[in-house]
Each structure stands twice: as C-alpha cells, then as structure tokens.
Amino acid sequence: MTPNANDHIQRFKITDKVSTHPPYELFSQYTRAFVYGIQPRAVQGMLDFDFICGRKTASVAGIIYPFGGQFVSKMYWGTKETLLPVYKDVGEAMKKHSDVDVVVNFASSRSAYSSTLEILEYKQIRTIAIIAEGVPERKTREILVKATTRGVTIIGPASVGGIKPGCFKIGNTGGMMDNIVASKLYRPGSVGYVSKSGGMSNELNNIIAQNTDGVYEGIAIGGDRYPGSTFIDHLLRYEADPECKILVLLGEVGGVEEYRVIDLVKSGKIKKPMIAWAIGTCADMFTTEVQFGHAGSFANSKLETAKSKNEAMKKAGIHVPSTFEQLPQVLKEVYDKMVSEGTLVPKADKEPPKIPMDFSWAQELGLIRKPAAFISTISDDRGQELLYAGMPISDVFKEDIGIGGVISLLWFRRRLPNYASKFLEMVLMLTADHGPAVSGAMNTIITTRAGKDLISALVSGLLTIGTRFGGALDDAATQFSSAYDKGLSPRDFVDSMRKQNILISGIGHRIKSLNNPDQRVELIKDYVKLHFPSTKLLDYALAVEKVTTSKKDNLILNVDGCIAVCTVDLFRNCGAFTSEEAEEYLKMGVLNGMFVLGRSIGFIGHHLDQIRLRTGLYRHPWDDISYGLGQLAESAGGAQENRVEEPKKIVAESSSTLVDKSTQHGSHNSTDINSPSESASSHSLKVNKTSPVERLTGKSNESQLEALKLSPVSTRKTTFETLSPELHIHIFSFLPAPSLLNIALVSHQFHDIATSERSWKSAFIRLFGQQRFSNISSTWKQEYLLRSKLSRKWKKGQGRLSYDARVGLIRDFSIDFQTNRVIAVSNHGTISFSSVSGKVKKQKIHLLENPVPDISILKSNKRAIIGATENGQVSVFLTGKNGRVWTRQMASLITQITCGEEIVFIGTVDGLLSCFELRSGEEVNTVQFDARIEYIFVSERQKSVVVICTNEIFYADTIDNTLTFDKSPHRHNATDFLVDFPTCYVFAIQGASMTRAHLSDNSEAKYMGHMNDIVVAKLDTNDGISNGPGNGARLLATAESDGTVYVWDARASSQECEPIIKIHTGISPITHLELSPLILLVGSASGFLGVFCPLSGDHIRTIHSKRFASCSSLSIDTSSLTRGGAAFGKILTCFDFSKLSRNLKPRSSRKSSVITRDDIQQDIDDQIDMLEEEGEDERKRQWNLERWNGNAVNGLNNREALDLGLLMSKEEEIKMASIASENGLQEVDEELAYILALSKAESESQKC
C-alpha cells in the first residue's frame, strides 16, 4: 500500500497471486473477498477489522452490485479514505481480482439462489457466506449439491457469518468495533467454536475471551433446517488445525447434528477437548412442542430435544455443563488444565491500533456537537410521521385542508382561514394556463419537441417568467399598496406614474375591455367581495380602473393586478399576519411564487400533450423571420445605426379583408396608458417565399417564376391566365363558402372552376380533412354547405336538459324527438314516460309480470322494449300502446334478444333461435344451431339476419318462412361484433385487434396495430350506400379505456384498413359510444359525455352529470343525426345540437315549449330548398356575368376579376364568421399571397 499525500486516499496494490491454504483453513490474513450487494456498513466493519488486525491489504477487494453501473465506493482505512471498485458484472470482477476466493453474499432471499449459482461457476471461489434468511429449503439443497461437487464451502443461509481473529471477518460478525476489541478478536487465540445462532456467537466470543486466551475461529452455520455446512464440517477442520487447541459446540433443540458429532468423538476422529451445550432445555416446561426462533429449532421427537442431546454428549465424554450459566466455568477448567499440562501455550496479547469513532456514532452518543449547515422550519421527516409546520400529515388529510392549506403551512408556517386557502387554490386554477402561444408555454413545447424530458421542458418554460411575462403580480402589489398607503387619490396615482414614465402593472388587456370583461377577474372579485373581511386595496384598484378606462376602455384591471391587490388585502386583514409580516412576504416574491406554481400545471400539460401527439422537432419557417443583415451593413455609421427598420410589406389592398390575421389574445402584464390605440387586426399580406408553387412543382424559390411560366415583369401581361385549373382549385379551397359562391360571378373562367364538383370537394377536404365519410347529401357542394352551417350552429348555446326519470338507476332508454317522447327503463324493469322537455308522467308500469330485480337482458328502440330474466321469461312492451303486449317462457337460458320492425329474435344457451311476431307474440319460426347463440343482428329493414354462435358466424340473406342460414365460412374467438349489412361485412373484436370478414366468403381484413385495447366499438347510424360524396364510406369508431378514439372507414379496401383520424377525447374510462355521420358521442364511467366531430376530431361540447354518475346508455336520434340523449345513474339528459339557441326547459307559462318537429331536419330542408332554387340563381349569375364581363365592359383580366370577387365576399364573410374562414386565414398567406403579390408588383411596374 502506498499512501498518496495529495488526496489522502489509501490505495492497495492489486496482485494476481492466489493465496494457498491447507484444506482445513478457510481464511487467512491474506484472504480477499467480494461483497455481493450494497452494504456499506458491513464493508466498513470488515475494513476496520482488517486495520486493527494489522493486515497490509484490505480483505474486501470489491463490491458486486448488478443493478447499477460500474463506479467506486469511498470507505475508510483507519483515518484515511480508500476507494473500492463496484462491479455490475460478476465475471468482470472475477477477471480483475483473481486473488479473491471468498464471497460474502448479501443478496435477498429471492435472489440469493440465482446469485450463488452464478458465483459457483467460477473455480477460484472456495467459500461463500449466504446471509439472507428465508431462502427456500429446496433451493438451499440445490446450492449444497452443486457446491459439494465443486468443493466449495457454504456458510449459511440465515447466518451472520464467521470470524477468524487477526485474519478475516465475514460481514457484521462480531458486532461493533468496541465489542471486537473487548473480545480480543484482533488477534488469534486457541479456541475454535461453531454454533447455529449468530447472536449467540457474539456471546461465545465474550465468554471465550474472558476465560481463555481468545477465539481462534468461530462460525455460525445458520438456523435453517438444511444449512450449507454442518457442525462436523467445521469441527473436523478445527481437529486438523494444529493451532486450534479447544473445541466449543453450541447446538440447539431440533435436528440430529449433535449426534453425528457424538459418533465422531466415539470413533476417535475428534480427540481434542470439546465443551458443548444444546440450547432449549426449557422446552420441557411447555405442554406442547415449541418452535424457537430458527427454522430448524423444533423437536420432532424426544431424541431431538435439548435435554436428550446434552445427556448423550455427556455420556460420550464431551464436557457438558449442567446449565448454560456454568459453561464459562467448565471452559476455564479445561483451559487451565491444558495450560498446566503444557499442551496449550497461551497466545501473546498485543495492543490494537485505535480506530477513530465515526462522526455519526459519536454524535448519536452525544460526545460531540456540530453547527447545522441548513435550518428548516417548515417540515420535518425525522419522526414517525411527516410534519408540515408542526401539523402531522395524517391531520392534513383528516381535516381536508386542501392544497391551499398545505401552501399556507409550507409557505407561511401557519394555518390560514378556510376562505384564504380557497382563494389560494383559485389563484392556482386561474393561472394554470393561458394557451400555447405565450412565451413560457411556447418554450416548453419547443423543448419537448426537441426530445427533452419533463423537467427540462418545465424549466425552460419557467425561465421566461419575469417582469415581461408573469412578473406583474409583485410589481402590481407594490405599486398599488404604496400609492394607497401614501394616501394618493386614484387620479393622482395615475398622473404620478405618467410623469415618471412608469407603466402601471396590472392595468390593461389586449382584447378584454369594459364591454367585454375578463371572466377570471369577475370570479376573483365576486369571491373576494363575498368572503374577505376587507377589500380596501381592491376597491382602490377598481377606482384606478375607472380613471384609466376613461382614456381607453381596454385599460382595465387585469387578472394579474386583481390577484395582486386581493392577496395584499388577504395578508393585511385575515388576522394571520402582522403588518410587518405581510410586507415581508410580499417582498419575498410570494405572488410570483403563486404564478410559478400555478403555471407549472399548464407547462406540464403542454409537455404531456406534445408527447401524446408525437410531434416532431420544431423548426421555425424562414418566411416568418426578417433577415436584415444587408440593411445593418448599409446603415453603418448612420444616425440611426442601432435601429432596424422593418421592410415595407407588399399589400394586396383589394383582398385585405379576406386574409385578415387575428392578433394573439392575452392580457398585458403592464400597459402604457398614454400609448395610442392599436388596430385590432392587420390586413397586410406577407410574401410567402415557401409558396404552394414550390410544393406543387418541387422547385426552389429561384425557379418559381419559371415554374409558373411567367415572363419578367416588364414583359408580362397578366398573372393568372397561365395558371392551371388544378392550381386555381387549390387556391380556391382556402376560401370560405360565401367567397367561393361569389367568386363564380367574377369571370367565365372562375365560374367554371368555382362551380365544379372538384372545387367544392377540395374545399370540403380542406375544412374537414376527410374524403371518406358517411354522406348526408348528394353533391360535394351540398355536403360542404350543410356541414359547415351545422358546425357553426352547434358551437353556440346550451341545448341540453337533465332531469330525474323517476325509475331509479336507468338501464336503457328510448328517445324520439319527432313524437316528443322519452321512455326510460330501470334495472328492475320499471318503465317511465317523459317528454324531451323534462316533464315526467305519473304513470309507471312494470315490464315483468312479477317485478323482481333479475332482468338479465334489456333491449329497447322506438318500437318496443323487450326484457328477459335469468329464468327465461320474456316480456314485450310496445311503446305506442303504453302497456305490456305479451310474455313468453323459454325452456332454457336466454343469451340474446334482437328486435326488428316486425319480428323479435330470441337466442338461447342451447343454440335455439326463436322468431316471434312483434305485435301478437305468435311464434313464426325456430332454427336450431349446434352452439350457444352469442349475438343476433337484423338489418334495418329486416331483410337479413346474422347469428353469431360460439366460434361460428351464420348468415341468412332473406327472412322468410324457411329462414335458411348459409354454412359458416368463418370461425372466430372474438368477444364483440358489429355488422354492416349493405356490404355484408362482420367485424370481430378481440382485445386490441379487429378483423373484418365477408359474410358470404372467407375474405378477411385486419384492423390492428394501432390500438392498445378496444373497450367499445360502434358503426354510425347511416347504413345506406351512396354514390355521392364520401366514396360510399361508413364510419366505424373504436375506443380505448384511456380516452383515445379511432375513426375508421368500415368499407375501405383491405389495403386501406387504417384509421382516418385519431381523437384524444380526454375522457376516461370510456364505456359507451354512439356515432352518426355528424357527431360522435363518448360516454365515460366518470360521468362525462364528450361530443366530437368524427371527421375533423374537433371538440364540440362536454356534458357532465351533476353527481358524476357513470354513463349507462347513449342514444342518437336517427332522423336528425345531431340530437339524442344520455343516461347518468337516475338522470336523463336530452340534447339538441341543431337548434342550440333554443332552451329545452319548459317556460313558466301554460303554453308548452315542447319541440314538436325535427329542427335539424328543417335546417337541412331549408338548405335543400335553397339549393333547388339554384337554377334561378344561376340565371341571375349568368346575367351578371354578361353585364360585367360582356360587351358592357371590355373584359377584366383574371387578376382584376379575382380582386373584384374577393371584394364582393368581404361583407358576407365578416357576417358569416365561418369556421372555414378561420382555418383559411391561417393558411391563406402561404397559399394565396405569393400570387397576389406578383400581381401587385406587375401592376406597379406597368404604372411606372
């Protein structure tokens, strides 16, 4: 070993020399070992033992830890530090330390077996100590067999180990260092012992040290029934070792190992004097057998009792004391006799080196004291229970103080009143997020899209918080409270800030004003006015707002300012703070802390959202960056050299309103009240250098003119006359419906293009993103106009009504808006009648003759309600007759019921399909199948039926008297099914896969690879096949429990079985789905109903039950496609997304406001009437074309015509405010501005 004076670290020289031992010697002063597992205290104890024994090299060569990477562990060698390598791989450790022949295995009982077998593969290992308790006996015996074949000694399991004084110590054997010194284990003695108990081995160390010259070697073999090594293994080693003079055996009740020792003594194989004792003599005092601490300490017979063993050993000539207390005396007598006879020469004693006391141990004993490096007064985790400002964590939950209460404890070290805690929670909720466009959220999103982890993304967003973003709270609190304390009037405060050219923090909003107040501010003001004992500073701030809004109506008290002044009112008046404490907490930055804590919720949400959407690396587009390098170079030396003047924008004046880009919404942290009013929007067009031409032609910016086949400006005559119709259609697809209608009036060329089906199809795909869907009209133009109009309508108003159906928990219901009738059925078969306006009739009937809560199957539609009990009783209730029509008793258990227009189909467990006439109950037909009937599907007009039995699918294309089913071409193991009768497709669902098969042949297509686990699936309500828009598709929705919904084209070809859209609903767990061509309903067990557009995935509405009861049933009115209902526990909710401005609740007057006609159908009819009158409109358009584009005008070129058409659409576009225009505005700069800019440049050139 060579100490290094630079780092004070003790290093040991690694040697490849393997120490050699005689067979009876397991350990020597050269023994080197590995410790398997991270046990720093045990390793340090072994090194301290090595040091006081005077070893030159540490006995621990390294540590093996398979669950971590390779590193070093810092330990002490005396007063200096030493580094021990930590290996992940056993083989690598063995390769680097060939001198190691012992392993101390600290692996747990679960992994001790596998780790020991791995160690046994290396021939250099001679001894393994297994410390773990609870290793299965079978595993122990397997280890023993393999170790015996390889000649390896096993100590343990369930053993503390062993010790050879002056040489080697296994793990924690011998206890702490003071006990080792007192027992003189730092140098060898003459007595070798073996015991089962590790705890008693420490007692033996002490007894032997006091009565002899000390311990030569001691082993604790462990208390398991099958130890790795036995008493005789070690006693024979001691017998063969000339340095060991006296043997000590400490056995116990149970087992027969002591009798094997007796046999060796009788046979003369053990001749050295032996003192022995079997512990457990007290067992005779109990009336029943007693299991002592060890697994093997149980006497199965009288022979295994401690008393019998002691008597037998005494008869064999072994020194056995009368009691354990006499064992030291007997040992001393034997030792003194051998010394007097000269057969034992006492070993010389020596003074061991001093081992410094560990700091932690000295501190625990109270021998030293040390000043603390940190002081904490808010929490304490040292005791039995975590404390928050002295409040046990159990009381935090018991008193339900909420997150606001926890903040009061950890931030302010005191309990605040309940209203104050609620206010803190309100602040967190109001500041949680403000959209993805703010700087912090944008930083978080960009960092996430760069592949960074949550912490990195969160920190990147938090680093933007300061005086410009989110930091107005502290400044607002300081400014308002300082002005109020000085006694300044609101007018004087505003004037003084203006004179100092200082912005008033907390005043001003970009889009909110007196006429359009911020609801967040209103919520805070209402709560504070109602609960706070005093609101003086808030009143002062509102008075300041009156002064500032007299200048400009958007200089209102914003949410930052409102939170700031209300927090000051809270600190000053809640009674929990002194005035000095209130000011101190404000100076600490508590308000900004609230913003940071609240906004972290939103930042984490944006991080998770981007990961969920699997967005890629973000790169900002060049066209949104103004490169001013040349301008800076040219302006060098000028008077304004530090200013960069923005380049003039190319403006398409006549089309500015079409491409109006909305400003970003959000509140200003501070506003200059002297600043002039800013325009709400900008009508400028920026030239997009990555234009559609580049994407369409694949050519670079330099070759765009050539791609457009445009001549230089000086020679070009027109811009648009050379563009292809495809490019016109592409450009027109970004226009809203009014503009697309009016642009047809511009020129013959535009008329032909704008009125074509291709143009409307392109516009439809641009708006809804799909070209495969269930259509609701016959042309692309009608489809576009109808869907876009409905989309605008259903985003406004309430349009729902919830009421108690008064039947208990609702099992199923039927709703018909045309007849204004709702029928609800409970789990017990109780039926109630109500209107869609919520009026429940007193009349109730029971579906069953003897109402009992045992309905196993319940089916309902507009025609009938059918229920079946577990004993096979069937009851049919016709909705038009308000009463039970007929009942039947089936011979076996009913598994499935389906109701057609005229026939009821009933399937049983034994495969019998029975057909009954719906109105009379007369049996029409029966068919016997060979297996249990699982599902029955009937086509809409009752022309065909599908019966799904266990593992087989049967299909009858005609329902007649014979009812003949085709032989099943398919076998299955699915659990859920759907059938599309027009295409004869059946969908089988099993776990995460969905397979589509044709009912008449064996062709199949698999919809799989996208889903984790399908919990529910639905086909849309439109089962027809049309040659119009949508390519004859039919929508199919599948849902996962986590809230993800996939929408498919159920009729796609086998090569196109991919989802057309994936919708993250945010609603989970999903339990029910309903789907129409217009809306997707998603019901969950948490009491939420989400409404989405199945084509675009846009969220329309979320409806929740009052008590968050689970959604038990959903229904969509097939006549309107946008109306329906949902059942939540006892509550029925009716909704209407076609006339959302109308309230479904009845008026107070006697006249009922019941919706008596199909509103959405009326909307569609109105649109169809308008489209049918298009012939006359077309004649008017032709007349206008002749007037504007004929002889009266010498003809407009296409550029002028386009500008004219866009001007014509201006007023109507603003009035419509269509969704299409909103989406188009986001893209029009990229697609249209380049063409318009070229036209503008051409016009300017010609004028010059």
Catalytic machinery residues: 294
DSSP 138-178: HHHHHHHHHHHHHT-EEE-SS--EEEETTTEE-TTTT-SHH
827: tokens are 């789990």
Q: Can the peptide bond before residue 1069 be classed as cis, meaning omega within 30 degrees of 0? A: yes
Other beta carbons within 10 Å of 901: 13
- 241 dihedral zone (left: phi>0; alpha: psi -120 to 50; beta): beta
- Give the whole-angstrom CA distance, residue 1125 versus residue 538: 45
- Give the whole-angstrom CA distance, residue 286 versus residue 704: 104
CA torsion sign for 237, 240, 241, 245 is positive
Other beta carbons within 10 Å of 1075: 26
From residue 1025, give the alpha-carbon distance in Å to each of 851, 987, 1034, 1075.
44, 18, 8, 17
Helices (H), 281-417: 306-315, 327-341, 359-364, 393-398, 402-412
DSSP 766-801: HHHS-S-S--SSSSHHHHHHHHHHHHHHTTSS--EE
Look up residue 975 and give its DSSP letter: S
- Give the whole-angstrom CA distance, residue 550 versus residue 572: 30
923 pairs with which residues across the strands?
A: 916
SS3 180: helix
Nearest C-alpha neighbor of 1220 from the set 760, 709, 619: 760
- Give the whole-angstrom CA distance, residue 738 versus residue 333: 117
1045 pairs with which residues across the strands?
A: 1039, 1063
- Give the whole-angstrom CA distance, residue 506 versus residue 563: 9
- Give the whole-angstrom CA distance, residue 966 versus residue 549: 80
φ, ψ for residue 1240, nearest 5 deg:
-65, -45
SS3 678: coil
- Give the whole-angstrom CA distance, residue 707 versus residue 709: 5
Residue 813 near residue 823 (C-beta atoms within 8 A): yes
Burial track 14-23 (b if 16+ CB lie within 10 A, e otherwise)? eeeeebeeee
Look up residue 304 and give its DSSP letter: G
- Give the whole-angstrom CA distance, residue 18 versus residue 670: 78
- Give the whole-angstrom CA distance, residue 1075 versus residue 1122: 10
Residue 546 near residue 490 (C-beta atoms within 8 A): yes
φ, ψ for residue 237, nearest 5 deg:
-65, -45
- Give the whole-angstrom CA distance, residue 771 versus residue 1032: 10
**Strands annotated E in 645-737:** 661-662, 670-671, 681-682
- 187 dihedral zone (left: phi>0; alpha: psi -120 to 50; beta): beta
CA torsion sign for 1024, 1028, 1033, 1034 is negative
